[in-house]
Structure 1
């Protein structure tokens, strides 16, 4: 897991995308490798805010979506990207995971839907 987190800062955008995807995608890992906010949040926040590559920012938004119901910093970053990112594709992905978005609603804890 620590190697994947380190790879989120690789100079090659393809490596950053693959690392963030591996952290975000439930189909690509077993339960034992599920993302943990204390490890995954900081690199995902940094990538969504500062990465020059829109595809990296899109994958960071997907990873932050895992924490949108529990981590205020993830929610704030998604909302900011939804409104302000320079890429329409990043704004679209962030809107899915931000409060009110389709994925946000689908993943809401029972009773909160």
Structure 2
């Protein structure tokens, strides 16, 4: 199967660090879904940064509430690619729906810290996306995004932050809609 000598979940996770086997291992682990979660979680502490990054990317699709704290901790990984993958997984609702989207109490602190001081511009850009999820509900998010939009050394980070600040395209698109008044409709059409 798959042309691998070993096909147990742990072996597949270790193959994420092998450029020749990483893609096939990734797709097989993704196919195995919850059956592979234990091995994927364990892979977050693997010595290979490529394995840790692959595990973060897998958790983008497979994360559950039991994995969330480990994924949040990966935002502080020493490798920038791992931090990028962790922030993407924490910010991306498209891949996982609202089933276990993390709240501000869990992720806003690390995102604010990395947005303000991470040395890698790609990490800061992913932190912008996570901070941006809370721009309508947390003043700290607005202040951090405005600071990044005005002062970040990377033009790409400044541009991305500009989408999320008040008046920016993403900010406008994600703004909560006012509640519809239903009393007038009910009065006009009694049941």
Pairwise TM-score range, normalised by the shorter structure: over 0.9
Cα deviations by residue, 1:31-79 (Å, 9 ceiling, x for unpaired): 2221200001000000100100000000000001100000000110000
Say if 2:105 is the partner of 1:105: no
> Tell me, which stretches of 5 or more residues in structure 1 are unaligned?
none
Equivalent of 2:149 in 82, 89, 92 = 82
Aligned-residue CA RMSD in angstroms? 1.1
User: What TM-score comes out, normalization by structure 2 length?
Assistant: 0.57
Distance 1:77 1:28 in 2: 26
Larger Rg over CA atoms: 2
**Higher relative contact order structure (alpha carbons within 8 Å, sequence separation ≥ 6):** 1
Cα deviations by residue, 1:62-97 (Å, 9 ceiling, x for unpaired): 001100000000110000000000000000000001
Equivalent residue number for residue 96 of structure 2? 29
Q: Shift in Å at residue 28 of structure 1?
A: 1.9
Distance 1:39 1:21 in 2: 15
User: What TM-score comes out, normalization by structure 1 length?
Assistant: 0.96
> Tell me, which stretches of 5 or more residues in structure 2 are unaligned?
1-67, 180-191
The list of structure 1 runs, each at least 4 consecutive aligned residues, that deviate by more than 4 angstroms after superposition, is none
Alignment of 1:1-113 (within 5 A): 1-111=68-178
